[in-house]
Amino acid sequence: MDSFTLNKIAGAVLMVLLLTMGVGIVSDVIFEPTIPGKPGYEIVVASSEADSTPEADAVPEVAPISERLVAASAESGEKIFKKCQACHSIEQGGPNKVGPDLWGVIGRKPGSHEGFGYSAAMTAFGEENAAWTFEELDHFLTKPKDYINGTAMGFAGLRKPEDRADVIAYMREQSSDPVPLPSE
């Protein structure tokens, strides 16, 4: 390679560097940045002095399980229960899986199914409660780990109150002597 070719390459590299630097200087002149006096964004929250309760703390009103069971559908509950079948069986004399068999669970003492090793938290819950009631199951199925701290049940829960009522209606039917529906 001769010196003329090397000079052309060096000139091209120098020209690209100068052009890049020039574009940066020109863009700084055209688009002058404005630096705010106070960094960040101000969030304006409209509030009335009459109601000082924040809306985020408002808990949606959920009808009691006794009212929801009146409109509950066991057929819908059977479809929703398919989520539970990975860990539980619900037929009479069914096998214990990761969780106990749930045949006749409503009215049965918590943590008392024969042949299943319950967590210490569920056993303690069973000592405090005589039987699974509709209300207890509704609270438990909302989020099991929050309701019984330390339970081994890894289910995230059913968020919709209607889904819980449907599942409980289905589970109620899975018994040789279904517990009567609660009265208002």
SS3 percent helix, strand, coil of the chain, rounded to 5, is 45, 0, 55
Cα–Cα distance between 152 and 164 in angstroms, integer? 20
Q: What is the topology classification, in CATH, of domain 64-173?
A: Cytochrome Bc1 Complex; Chain D, domain 2 (1.10.760)
pLDDT at 105: 94
How far apart, in Å, do the first and last CA atoms of the chain sit? 99
Largest Cα separation within the chain, whole Å, is 102
Which residue would you say has higher pLDDT here, 37 or 142?
142
Say whether pLDDT at 54 is over 80: no
Cα–Cα distance between 71 and 31 in angstroms, integer? 64
Radius of gyration of the chain (CA): 33
- pTM attached to this predicted model: 0.66
pLDDT at 52: 54
158: tokens are 């059913």
- Interval 62-114: pLDDT, tens: 888 888 998 899 999 999 999 999 999 999 999 999 999 999 999 999 999 98
pLDDT at 56: 57
* SS3 state at 98: coil
pLDDT at 131: 93
Q: Where are the domains of the chain?
A: 64-173
DSSP 28-50: HHHSPPPPPSS-S-PPP----SS
Average of pLDDT values for 30-44? 81
pLDDT at 78: 93
- Interval 13-35: pLDDT, tens: 999 999 999 999 998 888 877 78
pLDDT at 133: 92
In this prediction, residue 57 has a pLDDT band, given cuts at 50, 70 and 90, of: low
Residues with Cβ within 8 Å of 105's Cβ and at least 6 positions away in sequence, in order, are 132, 137, 171, 174, 175
Q: In the chain, pLDDT over 90 holds for what percent of residues?
A: 60
In this prediction, residue 147 has a pLDDT band, given cuts at 50, 70 and 90, of: very high
Residues with Cβ within 8 Å of 63's Cβ and at least 6 positions away in sequence, in order, are 161
- Answer for the pair 135, 161: CB distance below 8 angstroms, yes or no: no
- Answer for the pair 127, 112: CB distance below 8 angstroms, yes or no: no
